[in-house]
Structure formats: structure tokens, C-alpha cells
Amino acid sequence: CSTVGVHGDIKQPPANEEAPFSPGDVYQDTKLEGEHIARDTGQRTGVDVTIVRPSGIYGPGDRRLLKLLGGVAPRRFPMLGSGEIYYHLTYIDDLVEGFRLCGELPAAANRTYILAGGEVTTLNELVKLVAEVAGVDPPRVHFPVWPVWTAAALCEAVCVPLGIEPPLYRRRVDFYTKSRAFDISRARQELGYAPQVGLRDGIARTLAWGREHGWI
């Protein structure tokens, strides 16, 4: 299990599995290194290896992207930059089905697949949809990115040497600046991968779970 993050910021969306590598942080660097190690080990030992690169996993039980969904719902989500970058979500049930297909179908042996949802939106469109589902107005004010990015870099420089978790870090700010939009044709054609949960439905399920458990 790798990540679409190994491709970095997608300059010409949508990107497929052959897009250039451009990891932007330690997490993505180590995922790419893991891909190379797994593939090399498979070739050396004769063990079949399938590499999966998921995109933007969300759904009931996940609290990482709930920060976005749950932030919009009570009007506490700050918008940085233009919001015109692409963001590609994957509902957990669809991802699990994709993993099942990769594990069971002979066609998946020694192949790499991007697994993502069936809909791609800009960040502005995504936030607007979340607001509609939550029954609130979307954020109207957009703040500039780079002052916040600079503040995050300073936080990391001060906190990390002291062993303190930074209250703000660059990877979180990068969320607002890097496009994520992917072509899942290979998984559709070779595996029969077909995302079933639409974005509006998935957001509604996730918000309901967050409210039920007191996270929103």
C-alpha cells in the first residue's frame, strides 16, 4: 500500500500510474522507497507483488479528513489560496473492494494501480458540497498561503528539535496548494474496479458518523 502522493503535485491532471515521481515529504519519500524495495524483492524471490496507490481516503472511522469535513460543517475551516487545486477522494468501502480485487485477481500480479473515487472536484467545489450536505454556508474568505506556510516552517524549526509536536506544519499547508486528480482507467479495465459510493453520499455518511461520535 503506497500513496498517490509519490506523484507529488499533478501539473497536468488527471495523472495515471506512469506519471513522474515527485514526492514532497518524508511520508511520500518512504512510500516510494517501499515500492522499490517491494518490487525488487518480488523480482528476486519470484513472489508476485501488487502495488496500490490510494488517494484521499475518507469515511466513517477516519478522523484525518474529518478535519476538513467537520471543519466546514461548523464553519471552522480556513480556506487558503484560490481553492482551484484538484482533490480526489476515495470512500473507504470502495478502496477495500479495490484491495480485494488486487488480492484475488491474477491480472493484478506485478502491476501497479491507482485506486480513487469516481468523482474529482476542485477544493472549492468539495468545500461547497460539504457545506450543502451539512446545511451551512461555505467559507467566503480566502487567506493567502505563503504567510501561513512560512509560519509552519518556523513552527517546525522551533518545535521539532525540542521534541514538541508543531501546532502548524508545512505538510498541512501543502494540502491547499497541490493538485490531486487521477485516472483510474487501468484499475477499471484490468480489475473491474468500479467505485460505488458517490461523493455526496460518502460525505453525508462521514458527517453523520462524526456527529454521532461527538467529533463534530
132-150 confidence digits (pLDDT tens): 998 888 888 899 998 998 9
Q: Which of 69, 123, 53, 117 is nearest to 91 (CA)?
A: 117
pLDDT of residue 3: 97
Cα–Cα distances in angstroms (integers) from residue 175 to residues 9, 62, 104, 153, in the given order? 10, 17, 34, 15
Residues whose CB falls within 8 Å of the CB of residue 48, separated by 6 or more in sequence, listed in order = 42, 109, 110
pLDDT of residue 73: 67
What the block records as the C-alpha cell of 119 is 468523482
Residue 75 has pLDDT above 80, yes or no: no
CA torsion through residues 193, 199, 201, 203, sign: positive
Residue 51 has pLDDT above 70, yes or no: yes
0.85 exceeded by pTM: yes
Q: Confidence band (pLDDT; 50, 70, 90) for 97?
A: very high
Q: Which is more confident, 116 or 142?
A: 116
What average pLDDT does this structure show over 58-87? Answer: 85
Mean pLDDT, all residues of the chain: 92
Q: Confidence band (pLDDT; 50, 70, 90) for 175?
A: confident
pLDDT of residue 72: 80
pLDDT of residue 154: 93
Q: Confidence band (pLDDT; 50, 70, 90) for 56?
A: very high
Residue 130 has pLDDT above 70, yes or no: yes
Alpha-carbon gap, residue 32 to 39, rounded angstroms: 11
What average pLDDT does this structure show over 191-208? Answer: 96
Q: Is the omega angle on the peptide bond into residue 54 within 30 degrees of 0, that is, cis?
A: no
Percent of all residues in the chain with a pLDDT value above 90, rounded to a whole number: 73
